[in-house]
Chains A and B, each alone.
Chain A
Amino acid sequence: MSFDATRRQLLAATAGTAFVPATLVPATGQAQGTPRRGGTLRISVDQAVGKLNPLLVRVNPEYLVAELLYSGLTRLSTDMTPEPDLAESWAASSDLATWTFVLRAGLTFHDGSPCGVADVVASFEAMLDPATASAARNNIGPIAKVEAGEGRNVVFTLRAPNADLPVTLAYTNARIVPAALSKGPGLARLDREAIGTGPFKLVSYEPERLVVVERNPNYHAPGRPYLDRVEVVIYPDPTAEGSALMSGGTDAMMAVQPTEFARLQRGGGVRVLRTPSGQFCNLNFGCDTAPWNDVRVRQALALTIDRGAMTDFVTEGFGTKGNDTPLNAAYSYHRQQPQREADIAAARRLLTQAGHANGLKATLIASDRPAVRTQFAVALKEMAKPAGFDIEVQTMPHATYLAQVWRKGSFYIGFYNMQPTEDGIFSLLYTSDATWNETRWNNAEFDALILGARTTADTARRRELYGQAQALMHRDVPSIIPVFFDLLAAERTYVQGRVLHPRGAVFRLDHVWLGTGAPRRG
């Protein structure tokens, strides 16, 4: 069976279309004419680029820089299908447990040395080594072994079948580095220099201020990148970042806060980009801890939320109502359940049935990053009050939250990016063996549905299994998911070819070019 990068595109073209509303067409700048080469793009980001090492990058600005400098075996297209990057093709054994990737010929690193099978194997071994502390380790695979095959083949042996391996290998941390720098002191060198195979080469790196890259003339894609140079400028303050774009000081913003979007929309010479995404803010219950081990209490709280109002409070209207499952229309296997709306009387009834006729007290914990977590918690506290919930909101620094509450607590606010696959989000958060099984819902029926879908290549069967899984979650509410965010960005109108990716962590600046009216920079 061969997966030539088109499996899910085909799927979208056949069964999928009916489920994808028109608003889901990715936001792109209306490209005019053929791409022009040359010029410098100055793009602003909202956070420091604290890490350069591609195996260790953690946040979107770092992902952006890593993507400019490095490549993976595959990359993710805007409809979440894998497309070739360093690998030109791939194929799986019939049990989906052994995968063979064929590397492109003649690849070179930025320093001129060849990039071959040995580098790919060493890079994956480094990601899988706990000592490297790479986030890729939990997010690709499950890989038992990576080894060199014949010629330009790399062979992955999995611990369990996975139909989505080519998608997971496009993970933000799964980048190829030179074998010599994949461990020990060599790896530390990647903290300050960049030797990759990406479309751009590193010129200068100041974590808190500016990262400059220039065209890699030996990039594997013919003709790309179009830009001579990219300058990534750090603006920790969203207001200043927006003002810089409006005054023409920068050419593009990686992301725009909902509170800034309206202002940019009104700005002359600025084009705003918006795409629906599976990014959400949620409330997690520890389903093994009283009172949240009673499904009626969880359902009661879910029924107190005015989801339309919550979408306004949390996203300023740039989002959609959630229905207590992590999938929305941005995922291809999404199945619409009856929309849960606020029903205070029903919530009171359920709470009484559960033995809390006099109400229920609880402390809700929200980390301070991003700020919408607090906004969500404060609004929820007020909405739940009339049903008899007496919720005290406690905020804390993100570091403390990660160390003390996350995955340990039983009542806290979560915030998650869209994952490239349905399996990605379910087995990251909600199955009994999930990497971050934070709800401890541990539902055997649900586990079986997800496992079944992962190990079959029959799309109709997968659709059915994922549909049942969503219905189950919607009923049991291990987690309240009231709101999905749209991803927002902005650019000057002369910037062409940029597509806003619903995953949030994919940017593809090698496709961007500058049209007429672009200023000369650098």
Chain B
Amino acid sequence: MSGRYLLRRFGLILYTLLVVSVIVFGITQVLPADAAVMLMGENATPEQLAALRARLGLDDAVWVQYLHWLGGVVRGDFGVSMTSGLDVLPTIVESLSRSLLLAVLSILLMLVVALPLGILAAVRRGGAVDIGLGLVSYLGVSFPEFVTATLGILLFADLLGWLPATGYVPLLEDPVQAVRHLVLPVATVSLILIAHVSRMVRSEVVDALHTDYVRAARLKGLPEGLVLRRHALRNALLPTITIVALDVGYVLGGIIVVEEIFAIPGIGRQLIVAVQNRDLPMIQAAALVLAATYCVMNLLADLTYAALDKRIQYG
């Protein structure tokens, strides 16, 4: 892996962010109604709207607005929320930290459940675990997050009363409550992941068990457990990393819905609220941060893959 490769990847990430910012900016320009209308609500008079638009810089030509925004971002200034008047960057960083907690916990839960499940199903192909997993995973990938979340709330919060329905408590403020509030959102996000990844793991392991060198190892008379650990798993789990990285994009999308339903003040909710309020600097920053997270996770996945598998050459 050369420095040139890394440089190229970073170049691509910058290009990606530029494309994303242009797309998002372009779309926000066609949004019906603007932040001034939302701020003034039903009390807007034409002269007040005009004054407010001038103050928010909504009167400038589109490209002037864009360059102004881009110039700010290059200097690390993401502007000020048109709604609250608060700085965008600290707001985004704080909500991102809440979202990342949710995302990381969901991915961890997925790994803990999906890997053993997938391997077991592959090794005992056609067994009870395999058939059960097949069924459950089809169901899992077929429930949109909002359905899982809503049914979860109905069952665990409403009928059984075991868990709080929605809401967010910071980890440091009250750890027990914080965890109780995180159970349903994390379960919701990871359900689709578990269903998807465990199926992938299963098929990779099944493929690996059919390769020549596994057959050869078996012929040599090595014990099955050793064959599995040394040859099959290693080769099967490598592609899993790529799958997980690709799923990160999906996790980020899912988090938008899950945060909205569970009222978690993370980046997804921030984004939906910003779209409702036509808060352009906030929409831009949130979309950019989501895209950047996706890019970085992909890069990390590729680097991990390369580090684990020396045979792959990057240039």
Contact = CB atoms under 8 A, between A and B. Distances in A.
Direct contact, A vs B (beta carbon within 8 Å) = yes
Contacts of A138: 43, 45
A69 to B, nearest CB: 16
B265 A135 contact: no
Contacts of A247: 164
Given A133-B51, A237-B263, A243-B165, A191 B41 contact: no
B188 interface: no
Interface in B189-240: none
A192 B51 contact: no
B167 A244 contact: yes
Contact of A399 (B43, B262, B278): B278
Interface string A222-263: 000000000000011101100110010100000000000000
A348 interface: no
Contacts of B153: 239
Given A133-B52, A244-B164, A244-B167, A406 B45 contact: no
Nearest to A400: B32
A305 to B, nearest CB: 25
A240 B40 contact: no
A191 B51 contact: no
Given A130-B48, A207-B86, A402 B42 contact: yes
B113 interface: no
Interface string A184-218: 00001001100000000000001111000000000
A51 B38 contact: no
Contacts of A191: 84-86
Given A51-B83, A209-B168, A240-B166, A404 B33 contact: yes
A131 interface: yes
Contacts of A239: 153, 157-158, 165-166
In this complex, the member of B39, B263, B276 whose beta carbon has the largest number of chain A beta carbons within 10 angstroms is: B263
A409 interface: no
Given A56-B39, A399-B278, A404 B164 contact: no
A192 B87 CA distance: 10
A400 B44 CA distance: 14
Interface string B28-63: 000011101111111111011101100100000000
Interface residues of B, number: 42
Contacts of A400: 32-33
Contacts of B34: 403
A399 B265 CA distance: 22
Contact of B55 (A131, A192, A207, A404): A131
A243 B157 contact: yes
B37 A135 contact: no
Nearest to B168: A209
Contacts of B40: 133, 135
Contacts of A403: 32-34, 37
Contact of B165 (A48, A52, A139, A240): A240
B52 A402 contact: no
A26 interface: no
B171 interface: no
B83 A137 contact: no
In this complex, the member of B39, B85, B262 whose beta carbon has the largest number of chain A beta carbons within 10 angstroms is: B85
A402 B270 contact: no
B34 to A, nearest CB: 8
Nearest to A190: B85
B166 A399 contact: no
A268 interface: no
Contacts of B47: 130
B277 A50 contact: yes
Contacts of B45: 130, 137-138
A279 interface: no
A200 B165 CA distance: 31
B32 A130 contact: no
Interface string B84-120: 1110000000010000000000000000000000000
A436 interface: yes
Given A56-B39, A131-B55, A399-B278, A50 B84 contact: yes
A173 to B, nearest CB: 9
Nearest to B166: A240
Contacts of A137: 43, 45, 48
Contacts of B263: 235-237, 240
A240 B180 CA distance: 13
A397 interface: yes
A146 to B, nearest CB: 19
B56 to A, nearest CB: 10
B264 to A, nearest CB: 9
A138 B41 CA distance: 12
Contact of A133 (B48, B157, B165, B168): B48
Contact of A131 (B37, B51, B261, B276): B51
Contacts of A52: 84
B64 interface: no
Contacts of B166: 235, 237, 239-240
Contact of B84 (A139, A207, A240, A243): A207
Nearest to A368: B276
Interface of B: 32-34, 36-45, 47-49, 51-52, 55, 83-86, 95, 153, 157-158, 164-168, 261-263, 265, 269-270, 273, 276-278
Q: 3 smallest A-B Cβ distances: which pairs? A: A191-B85, A403-B33, A135-B43
Given A207-B84, A402-B41, 20 more contacts: A48-B273, A50-B83, A52-B84, A58-B43, A131-B55, A133-B39, A133-B48, A133-B49, A137-B45, A139-B43, A191-B86, A235-B167, A237-B263, A239-B166, A240-B167, A397-B32, A399-B33, A399-B277, A403-B32, A436-B42
27 contacts: A48-B273, A51-B85, A58-B39, A130-B51, A138-B43, A138-B45, A188-B85, A207-B86, A208-B95, A208-B273, A235-B166, A236-B263, A237-B262, A239-B153, A240-B157, A240-B165, A240-B166, A240-B167, A240-B263, A243-B157, A243-B165, A397-B32, A397-B33, A399-B37, A402-B37, A402-B38, A403-B34
